[in-house]
Chain A
C-alpha cells in the first residue's frame, strides 16, 4: 500500500488501447493490482481440490499435471448446465456498447477490463475447443489454445471483475459478463487458484458461521460492546437474544458490520430500532453471516454456505427471516437461496408484527429486506423521528450493484433517508440506480494488497460523489451494503477525503426518538449532535 501513487497520479488514465492486438499482448501482473493466492489450509477446510500454498508472482503455480483436462472438462460441463454461459459464449457481436461501462476499465484503461474483452478471454478458448470454425480457422476466427499464459490471464482478469453487472444493463442481448467471471472462477477453483481474501472468509464462514471467523461468544461480546455505547447515548439498556428458539423472526446480517467502523454504527442502528419496536427476534451465531464469499468461489460453495440460513431458521422455529443491509448478500438471497436450499415451506409468509403488512413479494423465500421493513414502518407512522439530529449531514445515496441490478430495491432506501434527514442530494443520473457504479472492491476483492486496483475501480463512483460534494457540500455517502461501508470508506479517504460513509440504519437510529430515552447529545459515532456541542460545554 505504501507504493500506492497519489490520486493525481492514479487518475491519469488513457482509455486508448495499445497497438498490439490483445491476443498478442501477454498478461502482465501489475503491482498492487491483484490479490494473494489462496493458502492451502483454507482450501482444505472446505475440501477443495489441489489445495496448496502458491503465489501468483512466482513463475510456477504448482498446477496439477492434468490441469488443462480439468478445465476443459468443467468447461463442457458448465456449457451444458448454464444456458446463460453457452448463449453468452455465442451471441456477442462485439458492438462495444459495454466497453466503456466497466469501472475497472474507466478507472484503469486496461483494454482487457472492457467487459467484451474480459469475455473474449474465455470465448477465444471456447471457439478453439467447442466450435468447428474455431478449430479450422484458429486465430482468424478469434480462437486460441488454453495455455498456461491464458490461464494466468484468466486469473488476473477474473479477479479484476466485481460481477457488478453494469455491462449487462447496456448490452443489447443482456450479456452479463459477471456470469462469465463466475465460470472463470469456478474453473480456477478446481485448480486451487482462489485468492486468499476469498478463501479465508469462506473457510471461516464454513466452520464458524461468518466470514470474520467470530466465535459465538465473540459475537455476543461485540454486540454487548455496542449496547454499552447505545446506553451511553440514549440511556436505554437493550437486551438482544442469541440463538433463541421460538422467536418470531431470525435476523441475519453481514458479519462485517459487527467488526469495523462505520458498519458497526449500522449494527447499532438495527439494535435500537428492534428494541424500540419490541420486536420478537433473535440473532444467530451459527447463521451469523448474511454475505456469501462462497458465491465468489463456485456455485457449490455458495450453496454450502447459504444452507445455514434456512437450517437455522428451521432449528429455531422462527416464522420468517429479516435480512440486514448488504449487497451481494441480497443477490444471493433474492436470486439463488430458494433455488439452492428451498423450499422454505416450514416458514410463514412474512408479516410485519408492527404494521400487519404482508410481504407478498417474499412469499416463497420468506425473507424480507430491512429497507422494505423499515420503509413500511415509516409509511405507517410507527416510528417517531427527529430528522434534525442528522442536520449536520448532507447525504447522497450509493446504490449497491447487486441490490439495484439483481433485485431493484431503489426507492425504499431513498424513502427512508428522506424521512430521517433533511439534506439529500442525488448523484448524476448516469451513475445511480441501475447505472450505479461499483465501489470497486466487490466480489471479495476488498483486500489490501490490491489497493491500486480498488482505488482505480472506485474512481467512477468517487468521481460522482465528488460532483455532489463540490456542488452541494455532500459529506455523507449512505448505502445499504456492508462491503460498501468498508470499501467506500477507503475510496473516499483516497479520492474525496471530506466525505464519510454510513449505512441507512445508522441515520434511522440517529433520528429515532426512543421511549424513555434521555436527551441525546451524541450521535451513534459518539460525536456531538448538531446544536448540542455548546450546550454540553456550558453545563
Chain B
C-alpha cells in the first residue's frame, strides 16, 4: 500500500496529462497549472518557514561533535563545536553543501556476538549525487527563460556534457540523477529497517522525480519535442504573456514533464521536502556552543515555584544546629 498508492497516483497524474491534451486543455496544462504551482510553492515555502520561525528557540541546544572552547592550550574543534558565528557558518555550509552528518554514517552489524561498525557511505554518496544533479539540472533549465544565455550557464552545460557523446550532447547529470533516485528507491525496498520506517510520503516524491527525469530524458534524447516552441512558451511565461498559439505545437511528453514538475512544486511546501528550508533552522546545528559565555534568553521564561532556603532551614534547623552546620536563624 505504501508503495502502491503513490505509484498509482503518479500514473494517474501522467494519464491526466494525456487526457487533458486530448481534450485540448493546453492552456490549463501549459499556463494555468504551472503558474498556480509556482505560486503555491513560493507562498507555501515562505509560510512554512515563517511558521517555524514563529516558534522561539527557548534553549541553547547545539549538538556538539568535537572539543569545545575551554582552556587556551586545548585545541578546540572550531567547526564541529563552534563558538563563533564564523564557525557556525562553516558548520552549516558543510552540512548543506556536503551533507557532513550523513558522511558520518556507520553500519551497525552483529558478527559472532560482537557489535561492529562498518563505514557506510552509499547513502551519503547517493544523497549528494541526487541533490547536486537536481540542482545543476534546474540551473541548466534556466536557459529556457533567458534571451541571452549567460556564460556561467554555458560553462555548467559544457562541464555537464564534457563527455561529448551523442546528439544532442549527453548530460551526465541526467544519468546520475536517474541512478541516484533508483538507488534511493531500492534501498527503501530492500533494506529491511528502511523499508520498515518508510511511508507513502517517502515513495511519492521519488516516483514523481523519477517521472520528471524520465520524461525529460525521453524528450531530449528520444522523442524530440518542438524545442523552439518550449523556449517561446517559457519566455512568454516569464513575461506573463504566454503565446497560446505555440502551446499545441509542443509534444505531449513535454506536458507530462511540466505537469509532474508542477505537482512536485505544489506538493513541496506540504511535505518532508521542506527539509530544504528546515535544515537552516535546526537549533542543534545552527547555534554556537557558547552558552556558558553568553546568556541565552528564553522569551517565555516564567517564574516557577521553588523550595526556598528559608523553608529548607525551617524543616531542618535543629538537625543542622546539632550537626554544627551554620544556620540563618538561631
Contacts and interface: CB of A to CB of B under 8 A. Distances in A.
Interface of A: 8, 11, 13, 15-17, 21-22, 47, 79-87, 90-97, 99-101, 106, 111, 114, 116-117, 120, 131-133, 140-142, 165, 168-176, 179, 206-209, 215-217, 220-221, 242-245, 285-286, 299-300, 303-304, 307-308, 311-312, 315, 333-336, 338-340, 342-343, 357, 359-365, 367, 372, 375-376, 379, 404-412, 415, 428, 430-431, 433-435, 459-460, 463
10 contacts: A84-B283, A97-B123, A132-B270, A172-B127, A176-B61, A285-B325, A338-B292, A339-B298, A405-B63, A460-B115
Contact of A459 (B95, B115, B315): B115
B74 A411 contact: yes
**Residue picked from A8, A141, A216, A285, most chain B C-beta under 10 Å:** A216
Task: From A87, A221, A285, A431, name the one whose CB has the most chain B CB atoms within 10 angstroms.
Answer: A87
A172 B102 contact: yes
Interface stretch (B15-23, B35-43, B50-58, B235-243): B50-58
B181 to A, nearest CB: 14
Given A216-B323, A364-B293, A83 B52 contact: yes
B56 A15 contact: no
B306 interface: yes
Contact of B196 (A22, A286, A408): A22
Interface in B75-110: 75, 77, 80-81, 83, 95, 99, 101-102, 104-108, 110
B198 interface: yes
Contact of A405 (B1, B64, B308, B312): B64
A170 B316 contact: no
Contacts of A334: 291-292
A430 to B, nearest CB: 4
Contact of B115 (A86, A132, A375, A463): A463
B63 to A, nearest CB: 5
A430 B295 contact: no
A208 B70 CA distance: 33
Interface string B60-71: 110111111111
Interface in B278-330: 278-279, 281-285, 289-298, 300-301, 304-309, 312-313, 315-316, 319-320, 322-326
Given A101-B106, A335-B61, 6 more contacts: A11-B113, A165-B284, A179-B61, A304-B305, A361-B83, A364-B293
B275 interface: yes
Give the contact-size bracket for chain B.
35 or more
A383 to B, nearest CB: 15
Given A17-B196, A165-B63, A364-B293, A315 B320 contact: no
Contacts of A140: 1-2, 5, 200
Contacts of B51: 86
Given A375-B74, A406-B64, A408-B64, A172 B309 contact: no
B191 interface: yes
A42 B295 CA distance: 33
A70 to B, nearest CB: 19
A242 B60 contact: no
A95 B71 CA distance: 38
A407 B289 contact: yes
A171 B275 contact: no
Contact of B202 (A16, A79, A93, A435): A93
Contacts of B298: 339-340
B44 to A, nearest CB: 12
